[in-house]
Structure 1
Amino acid sequence: MSKKPVIIGVAGGSGSGKTTVANEVYCQFPEQSILMLEQDAYYKDQSHLPMEERLKTNYDHPLAFDNDLMLKQLQQLLNRESVEKPVYDYANHTRSNDIIPVYSRDVIILEGILILEDERLRDMMDIKLFVDTDSDMRIIRRLLRDIQERGRTIDSVIDQYTSVVRPMHLQFIEPTKRYADIIVPEGGHNKVAIDLMVAKIKTILAEKAMI
């Protein structure tokens, strides 16, 4: 009987460097033994709503995510079954018709801003990380990313940050830090913390007789 996969949750605010941390850990393992599940893939389907309603979606609120589907697929992966991960269409503000086949691996990294907010998800995790980066660094990173990669204006990014991103961070994301086993300051630049994480994962895998 195959061993149960190790599940690692990586949370943190927008622009904290959580994706960089998750990718750094991911790259330390052979491709065949690890997979990444991004919480962003599990935004709720809004195809039943008119576009003007979809445009009002608060993507930084816990209710924006279909955690029930993520939990269901995570359980299937734990059972060594494959799943069809959804794909979100940001242009149309709803789930697309595309899917991505995902096959179970020895290590599963769950990455997202609110991955530690749902107790049911937390209970499935072997290790919980929170990437903790100062708010001034997070807004600078978000500004650069949204302007360079998403064609946004400075005014629109700042308006969204002050009206939605910052209050949602303080209300929902920051409080989940207390659930973390490990708090990683300064995201992907913290090589020591990443090396410690990789070593810990290898130890867990060895204990499970996977390597």
Structure 2
Amino acid sequence: MSVKWLIIGISGATCGGKTTLANKLKELFPSSVIINQDAYFLPVDDDRHVWIPELNHINFDTLTSLDMNKMYDDIMGIIADSTCTMKSLSKPKETEDLTSIELQTRIQDLLNEKNVNILIADGFCIYYHKPIEKLCNLKYFATLNRDECYKRRTMRVYEPPDCPGYFEHCVWPEYLRQLEDVQNNVENVHYFSEFTEDPVKIVLDDLAQVLECVE
């Protein structure tokens, strides 16, 4: 019997905890696969980049900075079009009050029983690429307020590094555009913020629900 793939999309603000969440899920389910959008940035000399003359810098916070077709092809190469089909997503009562450890055990049992593996697509703008967005069975989006986003961004080292004004000119406006697009055009998204107490538990609850409905 071929493996079916359940795909989790994790997108949103830079420094919003996307990769941390993806890695925690990988720790809980070691057979899962992470595809990180950061691996698909175009070379800096690629003429598809958008150049910001006033900053003398590339805008790395747009879809044009990425080879999303390659990311999609790599995902399809793994899943071989064997995505999960599901019945109605009514939440099973027996999983509502489980602890995280109990949920992890329940989910692993369901993965084994239904021959399902998990692929996690992690990236700041994966929902802009509609073929990838349509693959996602579960969709999450990390939000941040401006001050927190700026504080976290300044603690990171990028290559090439952010130039003065890059956050104000590119990072924050592009994030707001993406957030608006997701809110208006992408269905069934679960939003996190810096105040969300336990994102992993939320994802585990959703996973248990969805896996109960996999045919």
Q: Structure 1 length normalisation: TM-score? A: 0.70
**1:66 alignment partner in structure 2:** 67
Q: Distance in 1 between matches of 2:174 and 2:160?
A: 23
Q: Are 1:11 and 2:8 an aligned pair?
A: no
Q: Give the C-alpha shift of residue 71 in structure 1.
A: 1.2
**Higher strand content, 1 or 2:** 1
* Equivalent residue letter for 2:8: I
For the Cα contact (< 8 Å) 1:133–1:186, is it kept in 2?
yes
- Partner deviation per Cα, 1:96-124 (whole Å, 9 max, x = no partner): xxxxxxxxx81011111101111111111
Q: Distance in 2 between matches of 1:112 and 1:190?
A: 21
Query: Aligned-residue CA RMSD in angstroms?
Result: 3.0
After TM superposition, where is structure 1 displaced by more than 3 Å over at least 4 residues in a row? 45-49, 149-152, 202-209
Q: Distance in 2 between matches of 1:150 and 1:56?
A: 12
Q: Are 1:112 and 2:119 an aligned pair?
A: no
Q: Give the C-alpha shift of residue 12 in structure 1.
A: 0.9
2:200 to 188, 194, 203: 194
**2:103 alignment partner in structure 1:** none
**2:38 alignment partner in structure 1:** 40
Q: Distance in 1 between matches of 2:124 and 2:160?
A: 22
For the Cα contact (< 8 Å) 1:61–1:172, is it kept in 2?
no
* Equivalent residue letter for 1:166: W
Q: Distance in 2 between matches of 1:62 and 1:140?
A: 24
For the Cα contact (< 8 Å) 1:131–1:183, is it kept in 2?
yes
Aligned length: 174
Give unmatched runs, 5+ long, in structure 1.
82-104
**1:167 alignment partner in structure 2:** 173
Q: Give the C-alpha shift of residue 168 in structure 1.
A: 1.7
Q: Are 1:142 and 2:150 an aligned pair?
A: no
Q: Distance in 2 between matches of 1:117 and 1:70?
A: 13
Q: Structure 2 length normalisation: TM-score? A: 0.69
* Equivalent residue letter for 1:62: L
Q: Distance in 1 between matches of 2:123 and 2:147?
A: 20
* Percentage of pairs with the same residue: 21
Q: Secondary structure at the match of 2:201?
A: helix
Q: Distance in 1 between matches of 2:129 and 2:81?
A: 23
For the Cα contact (< 8 Å) 1:28–1:198, is it kept in 2?
no
* Equivalent residue letter for 2:40: Y
Give unmatched runs, 5+ long, in structure 2.
83-115
- Partner deviation per Cα, 1:68-108 (whole Å, 9 max, x = no partner): 11111111111289xxxxxxxxxxxxxxxxxxxxxxx8101
- The 1:174/1:141 distance shift into structure 2, 3 A limit, reads farther
For the Cα contact (< 8 Å) 1:7–1:107, is it kept in 2?
yes
Q: Secondary structure at the match of 1:5?
A: strand
* Equivalent residue letter for 2:62: H
Question: Larger relative CO (CA 8 A, sep 6+): 1 or 2?
Answer: 2
